[in-house]
Structure 1
Amino acid sequence: MNKLSTYTESSLTQVASQLQASNDFLAELQQKAKTTQRGYAGNIRIFFEYFLQREPTQKDVSEFWGLDDQTANGLILKFKNHLVAEGRKAATINRYLSALKYLIKVGRNLKHCRYHFDSDRIESMIVTKYRDTRGVVVDEYNKVFDVIDTTCTKGKRDYALFLLLWANVLRRGEVAKLMVGDFDYHDLTLIIYGKGKGNDSTRIDLNPEIAEAVSDWLGCRTNIKPSDPLFIALDFHNYGHQLTGDGIYAIVRKTCERAGIKKRMTPHKIRHSGITDALDLASGDYRKVQHLSRHADPRTILVYEDNKNQYQLELTNKLAARVGKRRQSQ
């Protein structure tokens, strides 16, 4: 890329003319509702900006799609090495690579790109998941309910939201997808659409008090249909629109700050907190907790258990006591 590479004038003209009638790919991607696709747009922009030293245009995307296999994947590999040299985290690098895979997939679907992302040549980084699962204890979390006014509409919404995030350890993406028809007050159930699972759904059970809180929130709204969002924005500019993942994040952060919780809270920190507390309540039975958290790999729960009980620190202290100038004989 420095100017992407050397291209034949005819191939560029052909690709550009094919795309002339369509909207700008990056702008269109940015406007997509899903958080992942909005994130992809930003990642793709940064990829192009690294080589071009300016914001990319639709023509730049077209030129990239028109490259040969070796050149395109060579650029991606060079960009990956740049991210590694910058000290970016493995998960961040993998997210950039996923965005570029998506870019190539779109190009192939549009018949503007003939190559594939070379996964053998450009390997994903190994990620250590859930290294830090520390959240807050239940007494600290309960402070949020002291600052939520359940006599008003916003308070009823936030009360139901904070109960669900803790007791059902929902991800913010799962909450953002909920529709009114997913909630069954009489059966005390909720249908959720899991992380990265498209339209695959799971029916989860609700505590009666939480179901009552959700019902109380829905009672504030009029003429609601099953296809309406379960949680909506209440601010002036976005009133009635589905509450997005970013909106849920903002509500959690602001409410927890107002409650005086010193740790910077996010929806996922609440999820971590609930799972950790559930381990105590289940007396360490990680299989029960796996059903609650819906982690595909039960070994993930063991990370929570280790962080909660500090097994590593316990053994480190015992090993340290056996060496050095102040070693203890045992």
Structure 2
Amino acid sequence: MTNLTIASQVGILPLSQPLDDVYSGLIASVHKKTTQSTYKQGIKHFCYYLLTGEVVKGIKVNLSEYQIKWVISDYLKLDAKTANAYLGSYRTAMIEAGYSSNSINVKIASVKALVRYAFDFEQCSFLLDKVKAVKAKVYRDTKGTTPDNINAMLSLPDTLTVKGKRDYAILRLLWDNGLRRSEVSNLNIEDFNPSNRTLRIMSKGKIDPEYVYLSNKTIEAVEAWLSVRYQPSNSSLFISLDNASNGHPLSDKSVYRLVKKYSSEIPSGKVLSPHQIRHSSITALLEATNGNVRLAQKFSRHSNLNTLMIYDDNRVALQQEAVNILSSLA
């Protein structure tokens, strides 16, 4: 054990991030780059509104980080009533400018996250709890496609080739496990454990990894791919095989293009995205289990059970449509 000696006259080191620099503190506290970017854009947009009183859809906001921090500093000095009033008028201005409910809610959430961070570190005396999100009924096409079309798509990769083995393994993971494309592209070789029949994944919005069970078909497909995958310097489970980026980790955009390519070759189907294969898996599971939402929740790893009800509602709607068609025939 190593002993460390510290001079008695030395005080504790200053904070690397001053407490009053709320903006930088919030961004540094978020681990996902996409969330950091969302917060930056939303807060900058709000600061522009505070400076100009205008919200113009499509305009590029040009504010320096210094200006943003200066505006934030003034805003955090307001009382609760005034601060909420500013955010409320900002919300109204975005509605009048024609912003979508999702865009409005993301920007409002960014400002609320900033103020919550400031409040927790005693840099302001209010929270933005008076301004609510814009309510909207969001349509989600959760129908995907049929198991028959999925079967047809799974038969397309030429598994006698290296690329075919890779593509087939990816399609099996998307269907059998309902993985998101980012979950597929972020996989490393060590995440695959055939002896335990598991795959370690980083799920959406999670910091800690999760483990999903693998079917025999998926294990065989991944093992077949690994048997021909040459060993570049990276440990990504799936790598690019094209000339431009050969050996590099396969991006989530490449997964998207892969699914689009194969699904477009199914005459009776529609062009799919990886997420629509996920939709198809969930809907097919609900259909096969007569609407077992709890089982589907375990499979999909959705934390909110209400999300699964959207899938089941679509399944029931199709049944109703079928009943009405048959009734009209006799």
| TM-score, length basis structure 2 | 0.69
Match of 1:298 among 305, 324, 328: 305
8 Å Cα contact 1:146/1:259 also seen in 2: no
1:57 aligned partner: 64
2:229 aligned partner: 221
Q: Deviations over 1:224-243 (max 9, x none)?
A: 79x82223344455444443
Q: Deviations over 1:52-85 (max 9, x none)?
A: 6642322332223322333766554433223333
Match of 1:95 among 94, 103, 106: 106
1:8 aligned partner: none
8 Å Cα contact 2:83/2:128 also seen in 1: no
Q: Which runs of 5+ in 2 are unaligned?
A: 1-16, 19-23, 53-58
Alpha-carbon shift at residue 173 of structure 1 (Å): 3.2
Q: Matches of residues 113-152 of structure 1 in structure 2 within 5 Å?
A: 114-115=123-124, 118-126=127-135, 128=137, 131-152=140-161
Alpha-carbon separation, structure 2, partners of 1:128 and 1:180? 41
Q: Which runs of 5+ in 1 are unaligned?
A: 1-17, 20-24, 322-330
Describe the shift of the 1:68–1:304 C-alpha distance in structure 2 as closer, same or farther (beyond 3 A): closer
Q: Matches of residues 1-330 of structure 1 in structure 2 within 5 Å?
A: 34-44=33-43, 46-47=45-46, 54-69=61-76, 70=78, 75-101=86-112, 114-115=123-124, 118-126=127-135, 128=137, 131-199=140-208, 201-223=209-231, 228-259=235-266, 263-310=270-317
Alpha-carbon shift at residue 47 of structure 1 (Å): 4.8
Report the 3-state secondary structure (helix = DSSP H, G, I; strand = E; otherwise coil) of the residue aligned with 1:251: helix
Provide the aligned C-alpha RMSD in A.
4.1
Alpha-carbon shift at residue 153 of structure 1 (Å): 3.2
Describe the shift of the 1:158–1:282 C-alpha distance in structure 2 as closer, same or farther (beyond 3 A): same
Describe the shift of the 1:278–1:125 C-alpha distance in structure 2 as closer, same or farther (beyond 3 A): same
- Report how many aligned residue pairs link the two structures: 291
Letter in 1 for 2:163: K
Alpha-carbon separation, structure 1, partners of 2:228 and 2:303? 37
Alpha-carbon separation, structure 1, partners of 2:132 and 2:153? 43
Alpha-carbon separation, structure 2, partners of 1:153 and 1:280? 35
Alpha-carbon separation, structure 2, partners of 1:151 and 1:44? 52
Alpha-carbon separation, structure 2, partners of 1:67 and 1:236? 53
Report the 3-state secondary structure (helix = DSSP H, G, I; strand = E; otherwise coil) of the residue aligned with 2:264: helix
Letter in 1 for 2:239: I
Describe the shift of the 1:312–1:214 C-alpha distance in structure 2 as closer, same or farther (beyond 3 A): closer
Report the 3-state secondary structure (helix = DSSP H, G, I; strand = E; otherwise coil) of the residue aligned with 1:265: coil
Report the 3-state secondary structure (helix = DSSP H, G, I; strand = E; otherwise coil) of the residue aligned with 2:217: helix
Alpha-carbon shift at residue 162 of structure 1 (Å): 1.3
Of the structure 1 ranges 115-124 and 202-211, higher mean CA displacement relative to structure 2 is found in 115-124
Letter in 1 for 2:196: D
1:4 aligned partner: none
8 Å Cα contact 1:64/1:72 also seen in 2: no
Q: Deviations over 1:113-169 (max 9, x none)?
A: 934883313323346567532211122233433442333333322211111111111
Alpha-carbon separation, structure 2, partners of 1:240 and 1:82? 49
Alpha-carbon separation, structure 2, partners of 1:144 and 1:42? 39
Alpha-carbon separation, structure 2, partners of 1:302 and 1:296? 12
Alpha-carbon shift at residue 108 of structure 1 (Å): 8.7
Alpha-carbon shift at residue 183 of structure 1 (Å): 0.8
Alpha-carbon separation, structure 2, partners of 1:116 and 1:152? 64
Of the structure 1 ranges 262-271 and 38-47, higher mean CA displacement relative to structure 2 is found in 38-47
Report the 3-state secondary structure (helix = DSSP H, G, I; strand = E; otherwise coil) of the residue aligned with 2:298: helix
Q: Deviations over 1:230-280 (max 9, x none)?
A: 233444554444434444333333442354576342222111111111122
